[in-house]
Every structure is written in structure tokens, then in C-alpha cells.
Structure 1
Amino acid sequence: MSFLLSLSRLIDLLNEKVGNAVSWALLLSVFICTGNALVRYTFNTSSNAWLEIQWYLFSAIFLLATSYTLRRNEHVRIDVIAGRFSKRTQVIIDVLGFLVFLLPMALIILYYSVPYALLSIQNQEMSSNAGGLIVWPAKLLIPVGFFLLTLQGISEFIKRIGYLKGVVDASAFEKHSTTPEEEIEAIKAANKIN
């Protein structure tokens, strides 16, 4: 079990790094979106390439941050019923959800998206829009995102099993509410490490 928990910590670290990196894509997309709007309304012109860059960044944010969201236990869930159960029962529901829903769905999408992305790379697929960009980087985000989601699903499964065996505390996978001040301190600490 200790090997699996070490593997889980490595997966968590990977998805934390990816999630933090993707947060910069959000900032970049805001600047690009603002710039596009200013140019369009000021000079009455637009660029398909800049619009497609926004699309790529939104795709990256959504696909690459999904595993980070799962890692932080901030995904959408309905706790109206499950919230009434004991912690152990909630963890069993999570385990079943990972095994029956999350992992099969992520693996199926991963299975079909790899050839889809590889074909796009092989053909050096370009946008059909005038002045558009290459398309394969956006298509490559699909298998990469679902690979990361699969890894995080495995990590969360390991942590839940560890909890059921009594070797992992629930704080390892519970949602942590933080104040803005705590988040600022965490960012400062992360920047000192990097």
C-alpha cells in the first residue's frame, strides 16, 4: 500500500503543477480576448488566428484543469443524499463512482482520442478558416487531458482505499476551504520553491 500511496502523491504533484501552469493560460486568454475586442471595435477588423488562440487556451484550461479540479475535490457533485451518510459510506460511494463512471468514461475517451489526435498530427491539419492556425495542438489536448484525468482518478481511488484500510486520513482527499489570505501565502510559498 505504501508504494501505491507514493504513486498517488506523485500523480497529485503532477496535476498540481499542471493546474498551476494552466492558470496562466486563463490570464493569457483574458488579455487576448480583451485585445481582440478592442481591435475589433476600434479598428473594425479581426483576426481568425487570434480568435482561434482563444479557443485553444479555453480548451487547454478545460481539459488540463479537470484533473486538478478532481485533485482538489472541487468537482460538481450532489451531496444532498450522500451528505447524510457516514464518512465511510461516502468514501465507498466515491470508490464506486470512480470504478463505474469516472475511470471507464475517461479510458474510453482516451482510447478514441489518441488516434484522432495522431491522425491530425500526421496530416498537419490546418483550420479551414482564412488565416487560421494548425489544429492538431488543440486535438492533442483531448488525450493529454483525459490521460491526466485517468491518473488523478487512480490517485483518488488509491487514497479512498487507503482511508477504508485505515492508513490514510480523510484530509488527504477532502475539499480544503481556504481564505484569500491563505491562498496568497500558498502562492508566495510556491514561488519561493520554484
Structure 2
Amino acid sequence: MPRFFRAYVRYVDGFNYYAGRLMMYGFFIIVAILLWSTISKAMFTIPAFWTLEMAQFALVAYYLVGGAYSIQMGSNVRMDLFYGNWSTRKKAVFDSFTVLLLILYLGVLLYGAISSTMYAIDYQERSPSLWRPLMWPIKSVMCFGIFLMLLQAFSELLKDIAKLRGAEI
């Protein structure tokens, strides 16, 4: 494989690895937000209107930015009935085909996310809840997460192509 492809895989995998490890701590942020919601309702009898929506936003960031790490670690669900008995080459052929479908899906998803984010910025879109936060920050995080997953999917494709050629990246 050309040096550029190996460098691409190394940098994308490295960035997504550390981004995914960092996003693992996002779980504690979600728990803290929901804990504050419970405490504020029980002790202060003042419901914090922002907590549920903020927890949802944190969850979106958690699973979208961490999605590339999940792809990299092979944490996806796979029917192992046949796959587990296949040769490395046959797995690489099958994975190359499925990752192309993933790239198509993520490309369409990113196109829609960018369009939605631009709309949110242009019209200062707000959530219809009582808190009414601006939507463009979370939509920007969504675009970033989808973009990272797209980069990781290309990295996985390059690794599968290298396996088919008899070389590991």
C-alpha cells in the first residue's frame, strides 16, 4: 500500500481512538446531569427544565463522536454463524462490500446533517421545549461525529483492501 494510505489509516485510527476513549467519560457527564435533575426536583422542588434535553444532547455527542471508535474496535453487531468460519481473505471481501454500503449511508447522512445544520445556523433554530436552546451546536457535533465515522469507514476499507493484497496496515 502507498505510504499516503498507511499514514491516513494511522492518523485516522489514532485520532478516533483517542476521541473514543475521551467520549467514554461522557457517560459520567450524562449521569451527572440526570443526578442533578433528580436532586433539584427532590430537594429544591424546582424542576430543572434544561436537564432532560441536555442529557439527550450529551447522549447524542456520546454515541456519534464515539461511533468511529466503535467501528475501529469492531464493536458492531455481526451474524457470526458463517463469518467466523471464513478465511481472512473472504472476510476482507465481505467487509469491503459492507463498508462500501456504510460509506454510502454515512455520506447521505452527512449531507443531510450539514444541510440541517446550515438551516439551524441561518434561521437560529431553537428546540420547541421550554428551555429553547439553539440547535446548531448539537447539530454541529452530529456533523463532526458522522464525519469521523466516515473517515474511519474509509480507513477500514483501506485495511480490507490491504488484506486482499496480502499486506496488513
Normalising by structure 2, we get a TM-score of 0.92
Tell me the equivalent position of 2:64. Answer: 63
Aligned residue runs from structure 1 range 40-189, under 5 A:
40-99=41-100, 101-168=101-168
Aligned residues: CA RMSD? 1.5
The offset of 1:131, in angstroms, is 2.6
Tell me the equivalent position of 2:24. Answer: 23
Unpaired stretches in structure 2, ≥5 consecutive residues? none
Identity, in percent, stands at 26
2 CA distance for matches of 1:116 and 1:150? 18
The offset of 1:42, in angstroms, is 2.9
The offset of 1:51, in angstroms, is 1.9
Normalising by structure 1, we get a TM-score of 0.81
2 CA distance for matches of 1:120 and 1:20? 29
Matched, 1:35 2:39: no
2 CA distance for matches of 1:132 and 1:25? 23
Moved over 4 A (4+): none
**Number of matched residues?**
168
CA contact (8 A) 2:40 2:48 kept: no
The offset of 1:141, in angstroms, is 2.4
The offset of 1:21, in angstroms, is 2.2
2 CA distance for matches of 1:35 and 1:106? 35
* Equivalent residue letter for 1:4: F
Unpaired stretches in structure 1, ≥5 consecutive residues? 173-194
2 CA distance for matches of 1:28 and 1:112? 28
2 CA distance for matches of 1:135 and 1:47? 19
1 CA distance for matches of 2:124 and 2:50? 16
1 CA distance for matches of 2:142 and 2:29? 20
Cα offsets for 1:80-109 (capped at 9, x unmatched)? 12112112111111011111x201000011
CA contact (8 A) 1:117 1:140 kept: yes
